[in-house]
Amino acid sequence: MDRFALAMQHRYACKAFDPARKLSDQEFAKILEYGRLSPSSFGMEPWRFIVVTGQETKEALRPLCWNQKQITTCSHLLIIVADSGVVQDESYIQAMFARRGLPADATAAYIERYKSFLAQQDVACWVQKQCYIAAANMMTGAAHHGIDSCPIEGFEKEKVEAFFALAPHQKVALLIAFGYCAMERPQKRRLDLEKLIIQRR
C-alpha cells in the first residue's frame, strides 16, 4: 500500500486519547503547516486557527462540546475559525491578489471576477467549506505521522464562539482533537465504490 493510502487507512475518529501522551510543538507545527498549505477558493485562506493545549481550557470547553471525552484527553485541540470578514475586506482582497504578481489590469479584472463570485455566495457558508479542506489535510497529514485525530462538530456553536470572544464575522467551523488514541482501532465502514458512482456517458 502506498504511503498516502496507509495514512488514509490509519486515520479514524478517535473517541478517547491517551492523556499522558502529548505531541511536541514540532509535531504540531507540521500539522498546522498542512493546514496552511491547503488550497482555498480564489486562494483566500479564510481559515484561522486557535490551538488549545492547557488542561483548564479544555475542561472548560468540554461541557460546551457535548461533554465529549476527546476534548479533555487530547494533546492539542484545534479550533478552526472561518473568517467571513477578511474575504470582504478591501485591503485584504488587494493584498491577496497582488501577491500573484500579475499585471495591474489582470489583477483588477481578477478582483472584479472574485467580487461578482462572492456576491452570489452565502459567504459564511463558503468560508466554512474552505476550512474543511484544511481540516482534512491536517487529519490525513497527522495520520501520516501516526498521530490520531477526531473532527468535532458536536459543540454548541454560539457558546464556543463566545468562549473565545470571536468577532461577529468569525465563526467556528469545526474543532479537531489531536493526540494518540487510547482505544482499539475500529473496523472501517464505508459504502462500496459502486454505490458512490453515478454512471453517465
Ligand X SMILES: Cc1cc2nc3c(=O)[nH]c(=O)nc-3n(C[C@H](O)[C@H](O)[C@H](O)COP(=O)(O)O)c2cc1C
Task: Give residues in contact with ligand X (CB under 6 A).
Answer: 12-13, 15, 68, 150-154, 174, 188
Q: Which CB atom, from 15 or from 21, has the smaller least distance to ligand X?
A: 15
In the complex, the smallest distance separating the C-beta of residue 200 from ligand X, rounded to whole angstroms, is 27
What are the contacts of 55-64 at 24+ separation with CB within 8 A? 60/163, 61/160, 61/163, 64/155, 64/156, 64/159, 64/160, 64/163
Q: What are phi and psi of 52, to 5 degrees?
A: -110, 125
In the complex, the smallest distance separating the C-beta of residue 16 from ligand X, rounded to whole angstroms, is 10
In the complex, the smallest distance separating the C-beta of residue 170 from ligand X, rounded to whole angstroms, is 18
Q: Which CB atom, from 79 or from 96, has the smaller least distance to ligand X?
A: 79
In the complex, the smallest distance separating the C-beta of residue 139 from ligand X, rounded to whole angstroms, is 9
Q: Which CB atom, from 110 or from 132, has the smaller least distance to ligand X?
A: 132
Do residues 43 and 87 lie in contact, with contact meaning Cβ atoms separated by under 8 Å? Answer: no
Q: Which CB atom, from 92 or from 132, has the smaller least distance to ligand X?
A: 132
Picking from 146, 172, 183, the residue whose alpha carbon sits closest to that of residue 18 is: 183
Q: Which residue is nearest to ligand X (CB)?
A: 154
CB-based contacts of 41, cutoff 8 Å, min separation 6: 126, 129, 130
